[in-house]
Amino acid sequence: MNMRVMLNKVPEITLYFWIIKIMATTVGETAADFLSFNLHFGLTGTSAIMGILLAIVLFMQFRSMKYVPWLYWLTVVLISIVGTLITDNLVDNFGVTLRTATTVFGLALLITFTLWHTSEKTLSVHTIVTPRRELFYWTAILLTFALGTAAGDLAAEGLSLGYAKSALIFGSLIGVASIAHYAFKANAILTFWIAYILTRPLGASCGDYLSQPVNNGGLGLGTVITSTIFLSTIMGLVIYLTAVLRNAKERA
């Protein structure tokens, strides 16, 4: 593999990063349901379409030599949808239980982190400056989305906690990780990845709570309205961040 050195391909980890990340995970949940059920593409058809789109965008992302806001976040949104579809296919089409899916994706993510650290001696997202590190990064991201979908559904449906209670639990765990980092100076890389993993089931639970019918424990907004609200917000924030980045370059 060509080990050319690039500018860091991951944005600065700010409040905007976490807001867009959580919204992207929510879109991953609602958009997958919208395409599969509302547009009647089915899981197989939706998976094929989204898989092709993700491959195209990932190719563009790997070709870029620097962080490009719209391209990076488009990749995240698409990988969120594909990660959701991977879990849904395993559970709905192949009969894999949510507990098994959660365990398998958890182990796969652990193996990815182990290989990444063994190869690069770091798991920091501040040093995604070679194609190899970027490959490890996006593999880990895909697995966090698949794992988060399985864990979120397991908590809300498998353990009958409901969407709102599940969102509260995962949000509280993210809060614990944040306190551990800022108040007790816990390892920044470890707490980042813990929070990153937990945002997926948080986003999935929030998406289901907003979109699912009232008799299923949701607010009944539907996948169209929920996806539109969150996609519009993501687009607005990405446009803002692009302008900020451009202004910073002009001042430099």
**52-83: pLDDT as tens digits:** 999 999 999 999 998 999 999 999 999 999 99
Domain membership of residue 163 (yes or no) is: yes
Contact 2, 132 (CB under 8 A): no
Average pLDDT, the chain: 91
pLDDT at 38: 84
Task: Tell me the per-residue pLDDT of 143-186, one tens digit each, with 9 for 90 and over.
Answer: 999 998 899 889 888 888 988 899 999 999 999 999 999 999 99
> Which residue type sits at 224?
V
**CB contact set of 114 (below 8 Å; sequence gap of 6+):** none
Q: What is the pLDDT of residue 3?
A: 46
Residue 36 in tokens: 């599969």
For the chain, what is the domain count?
Answer: 1
In this structure, is residue 236 part of a structural domain?
A: yes
Residue 10, domain member (yes or no): no
Please enumerate, as own/partner, the contacts of 133-139 that have beta carbons within 8 Å and a separation of 24 or more: 134/6, 134/9, 134/61, 134/62, 136/112, 137/9, 137/10, 138/58, 138/61, 138/75, 138/79, 139/112
pLDDT score recorded for residue 1: 40
Percent of residues, the chain, with pLDDT higher than 90: 66
Residue 167 amino acid letter: A
Residue 3 lies in a domain: no
Residue 5 lies in a domain: no
Domain that holds residue 217: 15-251
- Asked if the model's pLDDT at residue 5 lies above 60, the reply is no
- Residue 9 lies inside a defined structural domain of this protein: no
What is the predicted pLDDT for the residue at 153?
Answer: 87
Q: pTM, whole model, 2 decimals?
A: 0.89
pLDDT the model gives residue 79: 96
Confidence band for 252, pLDDT divided at 50, 70 and 90: low
- Does residue 109 lie in a domain region? yes
Q: Which one has a higher pLDDT value, 251 or 229?
A: 229
In a domain, residue 160? The reply is: yes
Quick check: 184 and 202 in contact, CB under 8 A? no
**Is the separation of the CB atoms in 175 and 115 below 8 Å?**
no
Q: What is the pLDDT of residues 95-139, one digit of tens each?
A: 999 999 999 999 999 999 999 999 999 999 999 999 999 999 999
For the residues 219-233, what does the mean pLDDT come to? 90
